Amino acid sequence: MLFLLSRVHLAWMASLLVLCAGPVQAGDFRDLRSALEHERKRAPAPRLERADFLAKPAIAGARLSPQGRHVAVLREGERGRSVWLLDTKSLQLTRLVAMTDATDLSWSRDGKWLFLESTRQLSKVSVTGALGSGVMLRLDDARKLEVAGIDPTQPAAVLLFEQETRPGETLPSKYRLLRLDVSGRRTVLHEDSRALLDFALAPDGRLAFLKRVDGKSVSIVGRAPGQRWRELVRSHAMERASLIATSDGGRSLLLAGDIASDRRALLRVDLQGKVHRLHEDPEAIADLADVVIDPETQQPLLASYRSLRPSTHGLTPAIAARMSKLQARFPDRMLDISIAAGVDAPWLLHERGDVLQRGRWFLFNPRSGEFRIILDKIEDPSKSLPAAALARRIAFSWRASDGMQLHGFLSVPPGIDPRRLPLLASVHGGPWAQARPGFSTTTQFLANRGYVVFEPNFRGSTGFGRSYLFAAKGDFGNGRVQRDIEEGVRQLLAQGIGDPKRVGITGVSFGGYATLLGITFSPDLFRVGVAVVPPSDFGWTLRWATTNSDISLNAAIPLIDTLKLLSLDISDPTVLQRLRTQSPLANAARLQRPLLMMAGGRDQRVAIRGVVHYAATLRALDKDLGLYIDPKAGHALDEPGSREAYLYLMEDQFHRHLRGARPTPPNAELREQLRRNLRLDARH
């Protein structure tokens, strides 16, 4: 999607990775060819049903209690969501809440309460049968209240961010951090005139560290008991830090950040502002993706890295020894791990991977080494797409024409020589996002239909460090970033991967923009495009987003200031003129290749009027164009009917223009969806 940002724009930089140094290794393509030879020797996959790719997981979330006695499960059902409780000893599963609108759940520190959070409210549920379950807080826009997390220092309390805006004003005048316990008692922990972003509490419950907006930058401040706040770290040049917990009795701060470094790592900052690096990627490639902490001591136990190949490292000798057992049991898998308090407490494992449509859940006994699969009655593995029929996502690197080393993934249909297959570039959104390891519905669907799928992490992608991010230098028109994508495709073709006469390009949001650029400026390479929610003029879309998008309206630092750091100063007319001159919209007459576009009428990231205007321009020029608009969908285009329409129309487009697999005819429901929303039909 365009601009994968959170409450502050820069939070989408939360997993940055470093640019690999040194010359290209001679084995780069050798390793890729070896992996492809292994895939060619696999049994060919049967054709799988289109609808089976659209199945959603039955488990929306699972959380291990701090004492390890229970696992709370948020279950998706046909009539809505429900909450279930699993006893970790007996594995007995009982329903706790029959119906909820919650999107997330959390445990209180004492393990006696569950907190259920939805967009509308925060509720509490007793797991011991105590009285008092019900709504704790209404989360309406007028009060500007936001759940900040669970209080790790109190038996049963949550922490809240609150904004106060004076009548007649648009910007908040006060920001508060509040504690709210299950009895309803509120305590103001801090009040500030600056926007609060993050915090860390000392073991005694006092506020020890704060992260807050300071002008156009962000600062981390700390204080000892009875002392004034002292600035410890001030961000600059896109340095980012996420506060994790305190250590040394609240005298130092643990955080995940890239302070004074290119890569994101596990750091400790003391009250003098000195930064200590505790752990970073041993391969010097990946930024820190996740940290697991002890729920009792709040000390870090595990560090995970996931930009190319998933890896998790124990941060103590005992934890590292246990991780070695897990890695032997789950090679090349991503493991989301929760650890309960105590050396013998169980671990909750969520196994995910490129050929696992639905994750699998296990309890791990760290003393005995025993694994027990759980929640299979909710998330039945037999209902997933068969792993043996799915394509593996192969990580590899290549060198751009200017010498920069880039990273990406390649997926090929098993059991088939890739030289005979059509090749598709599938470009991620953002552009400040990344293609990561794991299951991708679109990639697996296309591979099952006989396409080689290339997912490039072009310069400007996150996940590879600030050098990798800044290397784009704002050149997001028909320039360096687009050349990264196209050079990756050409290098694959030069290696005998894909049929040069059957190459297409597709993507969502910024990936859709790259699709338009590809078929407009490189028709010799790309024969067809499928663009979902695409901006047709990136500069215009950025300018619109600074005042109209759902990102800009909920951010403490103006989006326009963030874009300046990324060499996209949209207040500079020369920047907008350059992007406009290189835009697909300004070059609509050059388009020679067929295009399918899809969009949502309620998109708050890419203005629907921009998509419609571009479509009208192409239509007036009599271009080969299909246009699907779901008036109820937003930027994600995730309405159930549109999800299947997306797969069907994409498959049909590539079938007609790349001689790929013919799609299964639509059923009556899908035909009606197409009749309502397919505004321009290029199929006939």
Instruction: For residue 60, give the amino acid letter.
Output: A
Q: What does the pLDDT look like over 647-666, one tens digit per residue?
A: 999 999 999 999 999 999 99
Q: Which has the minimum average pLDDT: 3-17, 32-46, 214-228, 500-514?
A: 3-17
Q: What does the pLDDT look like over 214-233, one tens digit per residue?
A: 887 889 999 999 899 999 99
Look-up: residue for tokens 């290549």? 398
pTM of the predicted structure, to 2 decimals: 0.91
Is residue 5 scored above 50 in pLDDT?
no
Instruction: Give the strand pairing for 503-508 and 528-532.
Output: parallel
Fold exhibited by the domain 9-53+386-680: Rossmann fold (3.40.50)
Binned at pLDDT 50, 70 and 90, residue 354 comes out as: very high
Question: What angle, 0 to 180 degrees and rounded to 10, lies between the N-to-C axes of helices 441-448 and 640-658?
Answer: 40
Is residue 285 scored above 90 in pLDDT?
no
Integer angstrom CA distances of residue 514 from 70, 318, 381: 47, 47, 36
The confidence score (pLDDT) of residue 294 equals 93
Question: What angle, 0 to 180 degrees and rounded to 10, lies between the N-to-C axes of helices 510-521 and 480-494?
Answer: 70
The confidence score (pLDDT) of residue 640 equals 83
The confidence score (pLDDT) of residue 307 equals 85
The confidence score (pLDDT) of residue 142 equals 58
The confidence score (pLDDT) of residue 477 equals 93
With residue 643 as reference, give the H or E element that holds it. Answer: helix 640-658
Compute the mean pLDDT over every residue in the chain, rounded to the nearest whole number: 90
Binned at pLDDT 50, 70 and 90, residue 41 comes out as: very high
Q: What does the pLDDT look like over 454-485, one tens digit per residue?
A: 999 999 999 888 899 999 999 999 999 999 99
Domain residue ranges in the chain = 9-53+386-680
Is residue 324 scored above 50 in pLDDT?
yes
222 with 253: CB under 8 angstroms? yes
The arithmetic mean of pLDDT across residues 582-597, rounded, is 97
Cα gap 475→477, rounded to integer Å:
6
Give the residue from 661, 650, 521 showing the smallest Cα distance to 593: 521
Q: What does the pLDDT look like over 395-435, one tens digit per residue?
A: 999 999 999 999 999 999 999 999 989 999 999 999 999 99
The confidence score (pLDDT) of residue 188 equals 97
Cα gap 58→382, rounded to integer Å:
13
φ and ψ at 563, to 5 degrees?
-65, -30
